[in-house]
């Protein structure tokens, strides 16, 4: 850990913010120590050593021209500890940012609560967390950069509440200080646990970013999180220029043909779609609560000029041997919460052989996660678009299907089970899978006829044969649909969504 260089609050701010844009919001902190006391002397010495009057600086600046509020920790001031004055300063910064409708960038570094001020300072965690919650409830973006070290009550309050959370390489990040653990238990804390890279691997933080790249990352993140539909001109729909958008779209000879084409290993998946069809892509990691499932991608992205939260089942990371589990749906539900918090469009991308059928999935609450995902999506106030990109099997696909609009690749499909499984149930053999696929109406043209799908994106002749052209065609369709949904009245949109699924099957 000694190789990790600590940088001060002012150096951090000067690195991230546009030159000359910093404006301090701070006023002199109130007295918290008896004049002449040992603690008063400690505070005076800390101010001299740190060159700041408290353990945090607050204010505003610009990141690539975008105005943002900032809270930055200063470790040289009593190990960045948060006492009553610092807690009040942080709280005021969140309140002012909320009133001025500014996104907030926080860069904590701290040993935690200031022990010299005891329980009253400890309770500052509550008021800071309340201020953060009110700020987020106002629909404003919150980005956190955890620096070396960030521990204790800071990590357990404003350090862990960001919409997006990244960390300094090699930073020590943890709730319990290693020195305290050793004193209490008589043995050292295990190596490698409280390290940024380990927390990233575990799905607790989204990325590990050196300070030199922080401004770029923050600018890309805010370009999505701090966007409004009024930023862009309306996108003309395809129907405005093409009398029949399905002209020339030849259905496959059978549903089984589409299923076989969807299973091609070289068929483009969600990552290829983002690479070829989206911009400002920032992959997020896991649930933020210690769980990561590589089969469920969560990202920020723009299709055209329109920002989105993207949930995508990654066909290249999950197979029948390692299928989508309950953790993947908890990752998806994090994305749903992000969309709700910030009123950003949610794009869910289905491409799965099905959810896990295993002891671990049962004990992990898979059925409950499917149910909660369905409920969250049908009631989500933000605009929602579902994309059937490839295979759509069972509850794992259905869990992220409910949306205002559903678009479907020509050879994508949706079924309660793989056709082989359905055939085994009905005919006690898998040899009649092609018959089951036809009778269950799983192919895109049948889904459209039944009102499950609103729009089909052609493949010429299939996506694997023209990956770049197909991905750009699909991305343009996503852009058109999401832009229109984002501009619609939210109450009318949710009411129409509920009515859509109420009518389904009647």
Per residue of the chain (506 residues), give pLDDT as tens: 345 567 899 999 999 999 999 999 999 999 999 999 999 999 999 999 999 999 999 999 999 999 999 999 999 999 999 999 999 999 999 999 999 999 999 999 999 999 999 999 999 999 999 999 999 999 999 999 999 999 999 999 999 999 999 999 999 999 987 777 888 888 988 889 999 999 999 999 999 999 999 999 999 999 999 987 666 777 776 554 444 555 566 665 689 999 999 999 999 999 999 999 999 999 999 999 888 888 899 999 999 989 999 999 987 765 544 677 889 999 999 999 999 999 999 999 999 988 777 788 787 888 899 999 999 999 999 999 999 999 999 999 999 999 999 999 999 999 998 999 899 999 999 999 999 999 999 999 999 999 999 999 999 999 999 999 999 999 999 999 999 999 999 999 999 999 999 998 87
- Token output for 429: 């053999």
Q: What is the pLDDT of residue 1?
A: 39
| Segments forming the whole domain that contains residue 248 | 235-503
Same structural domain, 207 and 261: no
Strand-pair category, 23-24 with 56-63? antiparallel
Same structural domain, 359 and 211: no
Q: What is the pLDDT of residue 487?
A: 92
Asked whether residue 2 is domain-assigned, the answer is no
Asked whether residue 3 is domain-assigned, the answer is no
Q: What is the pLDDT of residue 234?
A: 77
Asked whether residue 245 is domain-assigned, the answer is yes
Q: What is the pLDDT of residue 229?
A: 67
Angle formed at CA 220 by CA 158 and CA 472, multiple of 5 degrees:
135
The dihedral over CA atoms of 291, 296, 298, 303, expressed in degrees to the nearest 10, equals 180
Q: Domain boundary at 196, 225, 254, which?
A: 225
Name the DSSP class of 500: H
Distance of CA 261 to the CA centre of its chain: 31
Q: What is the pLDDT of residue 360?
A: 81
Asked whether residue 230 is domain-assigned, the answer is no
Same structural domain, 200 and 279: no
**Residue owning tokens 């694997």:** 464
Distances (CA, A) of 292 to 277, 326, 328, 452: 25, 10, 7, 31
Q: What is the pLDDT of residue 177?
A: 73
Asked whether residue 1 is domain-assigned, the answer is no
Return d(Cα 429, Cα 104) in angstroms, integer: 59
Return d(Cα 284, Cα 331) in angstroms, integer: 10
Return d(Cα 22, Cα 62) in angstroms, integer: 7
Q: What is the pLDDT of residue 315?
A: 78
Phi, psi of 353 (to 5 degrees): -80, -5
- Token output for 87: 């807690």
Distance of CA 347 to the CA centre of its chain: 12
Same structural domain, 66 and 123: yes
């Amino acid at each position: 850990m000694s190789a990790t260089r600590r940088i001060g609050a002012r150096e951090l701010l000067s690195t991230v913010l546009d030159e000359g844009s910093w404006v301090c919001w701070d006023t002199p902190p109130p007295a918290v120590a008896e004049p002449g006391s040992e603690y008063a002397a400690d505070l005076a010495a800390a101010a001299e050593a740190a060159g700041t009057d408290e353990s945090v600086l607050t204010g505003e600046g610009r990141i690539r021209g975008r105005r943002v509020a900032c809270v930055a920790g200063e470790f040289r001031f009593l190990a960045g500890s948060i006492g009553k004055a610092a807690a009040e300063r942080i709280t005021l910064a969140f309140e002012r940012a909320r009133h001025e409708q500014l996104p907030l960038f926080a860069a904590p570094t701290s040993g935690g609560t200031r022990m010299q001020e005891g329980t009253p300072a400890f309770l500052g965690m509550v008021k800071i967390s309340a201020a953060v919650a009110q700020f987020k409830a106002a629909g404003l973006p919150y980005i956190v950069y955890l620096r070396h070290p960030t521990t204790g009550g800071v990590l357990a309050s404003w350090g862990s509440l960001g919409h997006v959370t990244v960390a300094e390489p090699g930073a020590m990040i943890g709730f319990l200080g290693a020195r305290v653990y050793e004193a209490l238990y008589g043995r050292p804390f295990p190596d490698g646990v409280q390290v940024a890279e380990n927390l990233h691997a575990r799905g607790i933080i989204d990325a590990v970013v050196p300070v030199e790249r922080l401004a770029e990352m923050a600018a890309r993140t805010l370009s999505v999180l701090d966007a409004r539909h009024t930023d862009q001109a309306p996108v003309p729909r395809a129907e405005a220029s093409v009398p029949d958008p399905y002209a020339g779209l030849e259905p496959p000879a059978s549903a089984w043909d589409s299923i076989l084409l969807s299973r091609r290993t070289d068929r483009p998946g969600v990552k290829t779609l983002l690479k070829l069809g989206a911009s400002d892509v920032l992959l997020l990691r896991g649930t933020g609560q210690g769980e990561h499932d590589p089969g469920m991608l969560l990202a920020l992205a723009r299709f055209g000029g329109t920002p989105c939260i993207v949930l995508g089942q990654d066909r290249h990371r999950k197979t029948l041997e390692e299928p989508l589990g309950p953790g993947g749906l908890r990752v998806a539900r994090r994305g749903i919460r992000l969309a709700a918090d910030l009123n950003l469009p949610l794009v869910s991308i289905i491409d799965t052989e099905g959810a896990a059928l295993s002891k671990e999935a049962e004990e992990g609450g898979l059925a409950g996660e499917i149910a909660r995902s369905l409920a969250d999506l049908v009631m989500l106030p933000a605009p929602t678009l579902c994309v059937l990109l490839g295979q759509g099997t069972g509850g794992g696909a259905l869990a992220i299907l409910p949306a205002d609009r559903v678009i479907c690749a020509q050879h994508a499909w949706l079924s309660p089970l793989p056709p082989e499984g359905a055939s085994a149930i009905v005919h006690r053999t898998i040899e009649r899978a092609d018959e089951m696929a036809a009778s269950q109406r799983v192919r895109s043209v049948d889904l459209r006829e039944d009102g499950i799908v609103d729009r089909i994106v052609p493949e010429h002749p299939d996506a694997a044969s023209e990956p770049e052209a197909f991905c750009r065609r699909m991305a343009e369709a996503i852009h058109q649909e999401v832009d229109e949904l984002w501009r619609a009245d939210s109450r009318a949109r949710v009411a129409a969504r509920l009515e859509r699924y109420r009518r389904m099957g009647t």
